Chain A
Amino acid sequence: DAGVTQTPRHEVAEKGQTIILKCEPVSGHNDLFWYRQTKIQGLELLSYFRSKSLMEDGGAFKDRFKAEMLNSSFSTLKIQPTEPKDSAVYLCASSRQGRAEQFFGPGTRLTVL
């Protein structure tokens, strides 16, 4: 089975731009998670979907961050407008419904200038 795939692997954006990150979960997984990872804050949950329904939308991230699950095998995370403090690694993970183990993608490293 293919693992979680994320594109692009690296993204450089100017302040104020809109960027869209993409994720394909492991086939057959019903749960999908978006995280932001920084050295200072660690892993922060941005969004959590179960069977394409939004279960949790990280409160602090609601205003400029929007995750969507277009179908069971594809999700996007839009950041609009970007700010320099958004520079981080964005990780997507998936898991089987009813199972806790999450499988992570390699991440997208975002740099906002």
Chain B
Amino acid sequence: QQKVQQSPESLIVPEGAMTSLNCTFSDSASQYFAWYRQHSGKAPKALMSIFSNGEKEEGRFTIHLNKASLHFSLHIRDSQPSDSALYLCAVSMGTGGADRLTFGKGTQLIIQP
């Protein structure tokens, strides 16, 4: 059974700094990797996803995947107070992502002004 773990559990970062969040998974056959963001009291919402090894950048956010290390990460450049939220990583076994997702427990991020 797929195991997905996130680190750290919580993180406080000063405004304007770089934030780095980590996620490890157990099954090397995993095909799809994603980050979701959940603001307090709100629904989780997909932020970014990646299928193949390497990096993908969207604005201030970069996702990095290393399948051999069973690890992917999310980096937030110039972190803003509005980035404060629970970040959930998710992994799917299915080709094209067509399978159910297994989520990590989350990293609670606080950006301090």
| Interface residues, chain A, with chain B CB atoms under 8 Å away | 3-4, 33, 41-43, 45, 48, 55-56, 91, 93, 97-107
In angstroms, how far is the closest chain B Cβ from the Cβ of A76? Answer: 19
Name the segment of B20-28, B73-81, B88-96 touching the other chain.
Answer: B88-96
> Lowest 6 CB-CB distances: which A-B pairs, in order?
A100-B97, A42-B105, A104-B43, A43-B103, A98-B98, A101-B46
Cβ A33 vs Cβ B34 within 8 A: no
- The count of chain B contact residues (Cβ–Cβ below 8 Å) is 22
Question: Given A33-B100, A42-B105, A48-B100 in contact, is the A100-B43 Cβ separation under 8 Å?
Answer: no
Question: Given A41-B105, A42-B105, A43-B88 in contact, is the A101-B43 Cβ separation under 8 Å?
Answer: no
In angstroms, how far is the closest chain B Cβ from the Cβ of A24? Answer: 14
Interface of B: prevailing SS: mixed
Residues of B with C-beta under 8 A to A43: 44, 88, 103, 105
Most chain B CB inside 10 Å of its own CB: which residue of A3, A100, A105: A100
Residues of B with C-beta under 8 A to A45: 100, 102
Residues of A with C-beta under 8 A to B106: 42
Most chain B CB inside 10 Å of its own CB: which residue of A56, A91, A98: A98
Q: Mark B24-65, 1 if CB is under 8 A from A, else 0.
A: 000000001010000000111110010000000000000000
Cβ B98 vs Cβ A97 within 8 A: yes
Which residue of A42, A48, A97 is within 8 Å of B104 (Cβ)? A42
A38: nearest chain-B partner, CB-CB: B105
A33 to B106, CA, bound (A): 19
Given contacts A100-B101, A104-B45, 17 further A-B contacts (CB under 8 A): A33-B100, A42-B88, A42-B105, A42-B106, A43-B103, A91-B43, A99-B97, A99-B98, A100-B34, A100-B49, A100-B94, A100-B96, A100-B97, A100-B99, A101-B46, A102-B46, A103-B46
